[in-house]
A = this chain, B = another copy of it.
Amino acid sequence: MRILEKIDTHPVYVEPFHVDFTGRIFMGVLGNHLLNAAGNHSQRRGWGIGALNESHHTWVLSRLSIEMMDMPRQYEHVEIKTWVESVIRLFTNRNFSILRPDGTPCGYARSIWAMIDMETRRPCDLLSLYEGDILNYVVSEEENVCPIEGHGRFRFRDAQLVRTLDTYYSDVDINGHINSIKYIEHILDVFPRDLFLNGIRRFEIAYKAESYMGDRLSFYLQTISDAEYDVEVRKNVSDEAPGEVVCQAKVRFN
């Protein structure tokens, strides 16, 4: 039984402290808005984190790829539309469009989510969730299109350690994990100022493992071209051990 529209609209106002030195919204702040839009969409349909937690399940973000033709700027009002593109047993693909008031797209995003059992931390069959209710909300390509490329693959061959940082109070979310948005901030902080002058065209991140307050994160940078870079984040690297991969990201600048 479907009782709501399939696509939700989430209004966003670009606040002054949420823009970078060029006046464009920070990618991390935009990511936060996307996650809020996703959370609201799920919650309104009965499979939000609150409802899931009661049955000891939660959503875990696995991939997020954002591609922007034109980044929203300070004081702008934009709308995020979000919808479920597909559900494959253990994963769901959720898409986003970021639109100006006249409907012009600023950009799009794709994401992949798993639902996990909070005790075993293992993924669960999404089709068993509320008798497969999520399938009632799948949006076909005819109904709405996300015209950006899918998530890429990462291959780290000659990445160089460029930064190591300790994690603190402000990095951690209510679950005690380093929050998904803070990784985006820290990853972008490895780049010099001038790369941001024309904005970011595409940002991709793959979340691989959790890290916790106090973990030491090491950032490895691999140059693909003058405008494209991959970053791998590892935790608790030591002379003896390569550490564990926490996340991997690709940044393409304009």
Chain A interface (Cβ < 8 Å from any Cβ of B):
15-17, 19-23, 26, 28, 32, 35-36, 39, 49-50, 74-75, 168-176, 179-181, 185-186, 188-191, 193, 196, 213-214
Q: How far is the CA of A168 from the CA of B189 in the complex (A)?
A: 5
Q: How far is the CB of A22 from chain B (nearest CB, A)?
A: 8
CB within 8 Å for A181 and B36 given contacts A170-B189, A191-B169, A213-B193: no
How many copies of the chain does the oligomer comprise? 2
CB within 8 Å for A17 and B173 given contacts A193-B213, A213-B193: yes
Q: Which of B21, B181, B186, B190 contacts A174 (CB 8 A)?
A: B21
Ranked 4 nearest A-B pairs via Cβ: A168-B189, A170-B185, A21-B172, A21-B176
Q: How far is the CB of A29 from chain B (nearest CB, A)?
A: 10
- Whether A26 lies near B170 (C-beta < 8 A) is yes
CB within 8 Å for A173 and B16 given contacts A168-B189, A213-B21, A213-B193: yes
Q: Which of B21, B169, B189 contacts A189 (CB 8 A)?
A: B169
Q: How far is the CA of A191 from the CA of B164 in the complex (A)?
A: 20
- Whether B20 lies near A35 (C-beta < 8 A) is no
Q: How far is the CB of A196 from chain B (nearest CB, A)?
A: 6
Q: Which residue of B lies closest to A73 (CB)?
A: B174
Q: Which of B21, B176, B181 contacts A173 (CB 8 A)?
A: B21
Q: How far is the CA of A26 from the CA of B22 in the complex (A)?
A: 26
Contacts of A214 in B (CB 8 A): 193
Contacts of A174 in B (CB 8 A): 16, 19-23, 74
Q: Which of B20, B23, B168, B172 contacts A169 (CB 8 A)?
A: B20
Q: How far is the CB of A83 from chain B (nearest CB, A)?
A: 20
Q: How far is the CA of A16 from the CA of B23 in the complex (A)?
A: 25
Q: How far is the CA of A173 from the CA of B16 in the complex (A)?
A: 8
Give 8 pairs: A residue, B residue, CB < 8 Å, sorted on A. A16-B49, A16-B173, A21-B172, A21-B173, A168-B190, A169-B191, A170-B185, A170-B188
